[in-house]
């Protein structure tokens, strides 16, 4: 297909004769606009984040003292089970992929919407019922077998809560598969003419890798849960040893999804950090291809490491060695990303605003989680610390220090684009400082607790661990308080904040080339790539907005980012008009 044909096809509107501006009422209804759906995801999941956070605060209140004195032990089990389920399935996964993915992917690739707008809406509208369903389980005895729901415990403990948990997670998994298919097709087929795979913004690469992972692994979880539901409700014995079933088989099936799930949770944040750092460091991303391909490598390796969760349960020795090595190898592509980010900020001109602070916080906290991950991969050490607070610390450094810091970085970075209003920077910094302190107080001592012998998922513990646990609980309260400045800031700014310009951060990716907030169908004219997404310091980025395909001014520019601008920077085309050395600019 020729470029002209592509262009012609891209010009066909996806939504017929809809109005050009999004009305506020659309955010409360069945919209097929990817931006509306993205914001619906973000707001809905944020509400679940607050619910999950309240549950976590209750858990830490129980653990502030060694005795089991705040709630009954079975209620305690329900608290951490629902906390984990909410945070994983109703916050990080849907906020990262559903929220930011939906909002950003079509804008970043210059498309008018996702490939399947109605499927997109269906995927979102599975989230609220699934969440409400899960919460309703508190009325009938919430699930208390942990978010892993290992049989036989999940079969012998309360039936109603467990059945609700299975239904809820099945719904969320289905939503995740539908969204994944949509992303793969959108990224594959709907990039704006001139955008090859290697000119695509890195967030799209990470969403592509994430979606492949979700589409491959989530059905296995669905299988495990359906079989578990049969064991629970019909009395079959797939996993129930009293009838000859094998509980270890469930663990294999569960972790075949749930280990990749941590990459489903972190890969979109990797992508967002790769978008945010170059903009605020005013430097091109370092090692574009290395970062892009390492996402694919993580996605592939992520599928073959699941049994490292089972080193103490039932894997033969040779298999443990295989999974130890594959797990460790993941450190290599992850390390490539971290070092590339460090090289990106090195020598830049860092604007230390809230988005950048959260992005830097993301790197520094994620590194700690990554390092403890390598330690956990070593079988002899894992045997010692498996199922202890060391693991709790590790997973919170990855999923809170990583994913949640990443989500906040994204919030601060794209809030002006999404709402057309600027957030208050001072309150953003207060939020960051409180969260950073609270987070480290809450989770750093857990490493020591785990190594010294405190197992996880217990309502009462040895009094010798009391001091460290109290510190953790105080940190958790600070963490809870830290969300208040954000909520106030976001609500107030959304309604009455100062109006945001189209491109407040001087970004080069396509979402900044349209209005804030973007109109329905995103772009007035189809966007054309004039520079690569990260060509900071290489040319006059202001010439880029709205250059039509047949721009007579500069055939080189409209030829796309592989052309002259990708070569060595021309001193005549310096970043800022004031810095230009002569008037030989080729305009």
Partner 1 sequence: MNIPSQILTLLVGIVVTLVSLWYGQNHGLLPIAASQEAPLVDKLFNAMMTISTGLFLIVEGIIIISVIRFRRRPDDNTDGPPVHGNIPLEILWTAIPAVIVLGISIYSFEVYSQMGGISPMDHSVAHVKSDKHFARMPGAAIAATLTDTENRNQQLQEEALDDPATALNRKELPQKRDSEGLGVTSPRIGPTPDKEGQAPEYVINVTGLQFAWLFSYPDTNVTTGELHLPIGREVKLNISANDVIHAFWVPEFRLKQDAVPGRQSELRFTPNKVGEYPVICAELCGAYHGVMKTKVIVETPEDYDKWMGEQQEVARNEALNQSVAVNPVELSNAEFLAPYASEMGVTTESLHHLHNH
| H or E element that contains 101 | none
Q: Can you tell me whether residue 388 is helix, strand or coil?
A: strand
Work out whether 222 is an interface residue with partner 1 (CB under 8 A): no
Number of residues in contact with partner 1 under rule CB under 8 A: 105
Told to check if 30 binds partner 1 by CB under 8 A, we report no
Question: Is the Cβ–Cβ distance between 81 and 144 less than 8 Å?
Answer: yes
Chosen residue from 484, 576, 581, 586 binding partner 1 by CB under 8 A: 576
Residues 453-512 that bind partner 1 (CB under 8 A): 453, 455-462
Q: From the list 126, 399, 538, 557, which residue makes contact with partner 1 (rule: CB under 8 A)?
A: 538
Contact at 8 Å (CB) between 97 and 176? yes
Q: What angle do CA 330, 207, 431 make, to 5 degrees?
A: 85
Candidates 187, 220, 345, 476: give the one binding partner 1 (CB under 8 A). 345
Of 189, 351, 499, 553, the one binding partner 1 by CB under 8 A: 351
Shortest approach of partner 1 to residue 445 CB, angstroms? 11
Considering the rule CB under 8 A, would residue 159 count as an interface residue with partner 1? yes
**Window of 91-99, 174-182, 243-251, 262-270 that interacts with partner 1 by CB under 8 A:** 243-251
Of 50, 26, 51, 48, whose CA–CA distance to 39 is shortest?
26
Residues 162-201 that bind partner 1 (CB under 8 A): none
Rounded to a whole number of angstroms, the minimum distance from the CB of residue 428 to partner 1 is 16
Give the shortest CB-540-to-partner 1 separation in angstroms.
Answer: 11
Looking at 51-59, 426-434, 451-459, 494-502, which segment touches partner 1 (CB under 8 A)? 451-459
Backbone angles phi, psi at 396, to 5 degrees: -75, -35
Q: Which residues pair with 455 in a beta bridge?
A: 388
Tell me whether residue 3 or residue 198 sits nearer to partner 1 (CB atom).
198
DSSP bridge pairs for 295:
none
Of 342, 449, 490, 547, the residue nearest 66 (C-alpha): 449
Closest CB to partner 1 among residues 47, 451: 451
Report the C-alpha dihedral over residues 574, 576, 581, 584, rounded to 10 degrees: 70
Question: 114-153 mask for partner 1 (x: CB under 8 A)?
Answer: ---------------------------x--xxx---x-xx
Q: How far is the CB of 414 from partner 1 (least distance, A)?
A: 20
370-409 residues near partner 1, rule: CB under 8 A: 371-372, 374-375, 378-381, 383-384, 386-388
Near partner 1 in 292-321, by CB under 8 A: 312-318, 320-321
Cα three-residue angle 397-398-403, rounded to 5 degrees: 110
Q: Which of residues 430-449 bind partner 1 (CB under 8 A)?
A: 447-448
What is the C-alpha to C-alpha distance for residues 379 and 439, in angstroms, rounded to an integer?
28
**Residue written as token pair 């310096």:** 574
**388 φ, ψ (degrees, to nearest 5):** -120, 180
Alpha-carbon gap, residue 254 to 223, rounded angstroms: 9
The region of 2-10, 369-377, 420-428, 543-551 touching partner 1 under the rule CB under 8 A is 369-377
Tell which one of 132, 156, 226, 233 touches partner 1 (CB under 8 A). Answer: 156
Least Cβ distance, residue 315 to partner 1 (angstroms): 6
Spell out the alpha helix ranges (H) of 63-139. Answer: 73-85, 93, 102-108, 117-124, 127-136
What are the distances in angstroms from CA 577 to CA 501, 538, 543, 558? 20, 12, 11, 21
Residue 335 engages partner 1 in binding (rule: CB under 8 A)? yes
Asked if 33 and 520 count as a contact pair (C-beta separation under 8 A), the reply is yes
Structure tokens at 192: 């704006």
The answer to the question of residue 348 lying near partner 1 (CB under 8 A) is: yes
């Amino acid at each position: 297909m020729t470029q002209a044909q592509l262009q012609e096809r891209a010009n066909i509107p996806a939504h017929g004769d809809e109005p050009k501006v999004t009305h506020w009422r659309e955010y409360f209804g069945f919209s097929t606009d990817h931006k509306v759906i993205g914001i619906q995801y973000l707001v809905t999941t944020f509400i679940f984040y607050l619910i999950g956070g309240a549950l976590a605060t209750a858990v830490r209140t129980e653990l502030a003292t060694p005795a089991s004195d705040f709630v009954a032990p079975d209620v305690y089990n329900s608290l951490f089970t629902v906390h984990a389920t909410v945070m994983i399935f109703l916050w990080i996964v849907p906020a990262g992929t559903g929220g930011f993915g939906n909002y950003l992917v079509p804008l970043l690739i210059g498309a008018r919407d996702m490939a399947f707008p109605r499927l997109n809406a269906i995927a979102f509208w599975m989230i609220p019922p699934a969440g409400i369903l899960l919460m309703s389980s508190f009325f009938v005895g919430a699930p208390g077998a942990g978010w892993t729901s290992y049989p036989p415990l999940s079969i012998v403990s309360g039936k109603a809560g467990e059945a609700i948990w299975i239904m809820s997670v099945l719904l969320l998994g289905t939503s995740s598969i539908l969204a994944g298919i949509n992303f793969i097709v959108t990224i594959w087929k709907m990039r704006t003419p001139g955008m090859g795979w290697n000119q695509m913004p890195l967030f799209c690469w990470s969403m592509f890798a994430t979606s492949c992972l979700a589409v491959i692994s989530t059905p296995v979880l669905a299988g495990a849960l359906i079989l578990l539901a049969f064991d629970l409700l019909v009395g079959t014995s797939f996993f129930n040893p009293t009838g000859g079933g094998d509980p270890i088989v469930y663990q294999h099936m569960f972790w075949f999804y749930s280990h990749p799930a941590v990459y489903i949770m972190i890969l979109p944040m990797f992508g967002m950090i790769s978008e945010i750092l170059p903009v605020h460091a005013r430097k091109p991303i370092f090692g574009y291809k290395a970062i892009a391909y390492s996402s694919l490598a993580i996605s592939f390796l992520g599928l073959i490491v699941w049994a490292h969760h089972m080193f103490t349960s039932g894997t033969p020795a040779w298999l443990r060695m295989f999974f130890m090595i594959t797990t460790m190898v993941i450190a290599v592509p992850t390390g490539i990303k971290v070092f590339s980010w460090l090289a990106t900020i090195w020598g830049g001109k860092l604007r230390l605003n809230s988005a950048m602070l959260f992005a830097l916080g993301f790197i520094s906290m994620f590194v700690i989680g990554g390092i403890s991950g390598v330690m956990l991969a070593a079988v002899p050490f894992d045997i010692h610390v498996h199922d202890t607070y060391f693991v709790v610390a590790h997973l919170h450094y990855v999923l809170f220090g990583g994913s949640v810091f990443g989500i906040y970085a994204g919030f601060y970075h794209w809030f002006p684009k999404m709402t057309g209003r600027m957030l208050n920077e001072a309150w953003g910094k207060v939020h960051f400082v409180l969260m950073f302190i609270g987070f480290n107080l809450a989770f750093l001592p857990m490493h020591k607790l785990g190594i010294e012998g405190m197992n996880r998922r217990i309502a009462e513990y040895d009094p010798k661990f009391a001091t460290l646990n109290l510190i953790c609980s105080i940190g958790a309260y600070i963490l809870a308080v830290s969300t208040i400045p954000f909520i106030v800031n976001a609500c107030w700014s959304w309604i009455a904040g100062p109006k945001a310009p189209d491109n407040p951060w001087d970004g080069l990716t396509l979402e900044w080339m349209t209005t804030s907030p973007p109109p329905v169908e995103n772009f007035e004219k189809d966007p054309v790539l004039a520079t690569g997404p990260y060509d900071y310091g290489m040319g006059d980025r202001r010439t880029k907005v709205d250059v039509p395909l047949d721009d007579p001014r500069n055939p080189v520019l409209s030829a796309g980012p592989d052309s002259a601008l990708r070569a060595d920077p021309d001193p005549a085309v310096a970043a800022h008009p004031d810095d230009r050395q002569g008037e030989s600019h080729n305009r």
